[in-house]
Chain A
């Protein structure tokens, strides 16, 4: 299957899936610019701080993510971008001693509010990790549908969902004949796309990707970047990356994080074009032009 036809199929599906939110997105894009107020729909971080034990690792990050956009978080190692992305679906608290302050609003509601069911948050805000982590005890099909089982969701047409998710993750044509074999036999890039398909199966509004290509070869990276482009109109994507070319290729908006030895801060956010061609901050320019980092 050529990439083009995958694109088309993906688009068809997306329009059926998220018809209502697509119009919202274009309206939002027309009206709003990054850094302004809440959109009402989408994901917003407000004054987020993070600690590990006594160590203050992230300071006062406020960032809005447009529905249906791709936002790249870039910056040198240890600048808090991975920590930040993990505060967005409450995976941060998974680490012992982790603490946070501020608010993360999903559809206008604070996901850290008392009494919130964290599992429901993670269903809406999915995550893909740095290292591909399919469940080795499950087959490819079971892996994709694992989220439904984990969250005890009932789905009518499992086969259709399976095909749709694998198609959207750009993996269907490669695995459709061996859905009942174990996922461990796939290549690293295929495993990562399997993880993306798995994350999509619970129909998240937001997909967080924490350096999804850092363990992959260039070919697989390209394939995943295509997947990201296909997904971006139906899912809000936040991607942490060390690869600035990747940020430039896949993202609509880019946020630059930096730590000067203390807690990491967000130096600048803007459209990816602006960040890479005319950054406002000298430090951003130094980083994106490769003068450090």
Chain B
């Protein structure tokens, strides 16, 4: 056998380059979609540059204090000019307030959203599903100022009762304590309004991912004598988990960036406040809105810096989300 193949060992050829000549129409289309895809990146980059350019001077003069202090004073000297030395800009209260309000929104909004998604995917009759899906889509398109007004006039009054109730029974937990008996316009109420606002996006993303649960796995769970609840736990949740996390992060992003609704509802105070039921809070975006109208040119630069910080915070949260999605893994998929 071997004697027949004892010729000189065949030379291993170099790897060939495999290519194809694309048609003109293909190239044109490729160019169109590429520019479309890159334009969002370009716009984002330009905004970042704009914020950096305008906010840099404030960040430089304030240094780390911009993140750690809660002082916002644009000093003016005797000549009526901006006095950089005596001005203090710090957004610690606003940053912490942003996180607090957003986290409250997620804690309240996500269980409702995931519950709604499960109901719509696995329980609701077809016509209920149709009606509810369009109602939720409508809710997503609802102007946020209307949520703010509704929160201000409706949630404030009923929220006051809930806040007192929570304070009465849970005041042993520090965040539910009240330094003074003022419960209106608190981070708690703002969180409630934001919860309502993130429900549509989290619901529709969760519903989408639940509805993609592979039918054969669902059948397998039922065929093993599983109830619907058991099927959800064994099949639908592992499958949808990473997608739901992604939806939550989108909701969190919206809650952190929300401006008008929070501005309408929240009592913005330049002091770090961990007591979520107490009438004092903050939110970077609504602070910018609050200050923008009568800000001096120098103060506007500080607001730009605040915007930059919010931008970076959102970026960090999103990257964290991607990390979590990667970690919770595709194992259930």
Q: Decide: B225 and A119 in contact? CB cutoff 8 A.
A: yes
A131 within 8 A of partner (CB): yes
B-side interface residues, number (CB < 8 Å): 21
| Chain A residues with CB below 8 A from B235, complex form | 135
Given contacts A136-B333, A137-B239, A137-B332, contact A151 B225 (CB under 8 A): yes
How big is the A interface, by class? 20 to 34
Contact A152–B224 (Cβ < 8 Å): no
B331:A182 contact, CB within 8 angstroms = yes
A129 touches B219 (CB 8 A): yes
Q: In the complex, how many angstroms separate the beta carbon of B160 from the nearest chain A beta carbon? A: 43
Please name the residue on chain B nearest to A198 by beta carbon: B224
Asked if residues A129 and B220 are in contact (CB atoms below 8 Å), the reply is: yes
A123 to B220, Cβ gap below 8 A? no
Chain B residue contacts of A120, Cβ below 8 A = 225
User: CB distance B217 to A133 under 8 Å?
Assistant: yes
- B234 beta carbon closer than 8 Å to chain A: yes
Residue from B225, B226, B238 having most chain A Cβ neighbours under 10 A: B225
- Beta-carbon contacts under 8 Å, A155-207 to B: 182, 195, 198-199, 202
Whether B234 lies near A149 (C-beta < 8 A) is: yes
| Smallest CB separation, B331 vs chain A (Å) | 5
With contacts defined as CB atoms under 8 Å apart, how many contacts are there between chain A and chain B in the complex?
Answer: 75
A residues near B292, Cβ cutoff 8 Å: none
Contact of A127 with B by CB under 8 A: yes
* Pair B225/A147 contact, Cβ less than 8 Å: yes
Within 8 A of A (CB), among B18-61: none
**Residue B123 is within 8 A (CB to CB) of chain A in the complex:** no
B224 touches A126 (CB 8 A): yes
When distances are taken between beta carbons in the complex, the residues of chain B under 8 Å from A149 are 230, 234
B221 CB–A CB distance under 8 Å = yes
- Distance in angstroms from A161 CB to nearest chain B CB is 14
The chain A residue sitting closest to B331, CB to CB, is: A137
Q: Does A122 contact B (CB under 8 A)?
A: yes
**Is residue A254 within 8 Å, beta carbon to beta carbon, of the partner chain?**
no
Least CB distance from B125 to A in Å reads 10
Chain A residues near B222: list those with CB within 8 A. Answer: 91, 94, 122
Contact status of A135 and B220, CB under 8 A, knowing A150-B234, A182-B331: yes
Q: Is the CB of A147 within 8 A of B216?
A: no
The residue on A at minimum CB distance from B224 is: A147
The answer to the question of A233 belonging to the interface, with a C-beta cut-off of 8 Å to chain B, is no
Q: State A136–B331 Cα separation when bound (angstroms).
A: 6
* B215 shortest CB reach to chain A, Å: 9
Instruction: Show the binding face of A for B, using Cβ within 8 Å.
Output: 89, 91, 94, 119-120, 122-123, 126-127, 129, 131, 133-138, 146-147, 149-152, 182, 195, 198-199, 202
Question: Nearest 6 A-B pairs (CB), nearest first?
Answer: A150-B226, A137-B238, A123-B225, A137-B332, A147-B224, A151-B225
Contacts beyond the supplied A149-B230, A202-B225: 16 A-B pairs with Cβ under 8 Å = A91-B223, A94-B222, A119-B227, A122-B224, A129-B216, A133-B216, A135-B238, A136-B333, A138-B234, A146-B221, A147-B224, A150-B221, A150-B225, A150-B227, A151-B224, A182-B331
Sample 14 A-B pairs with CB under 8 A, ordered by A number: A91-B223, A122-B223, A122-B224, A123-B224, A126-B224, A131-B216, A133-B214, A133-B217, A136-B333, A150-B221, A150-B230, A152-B230, A195-B220, A199-B224
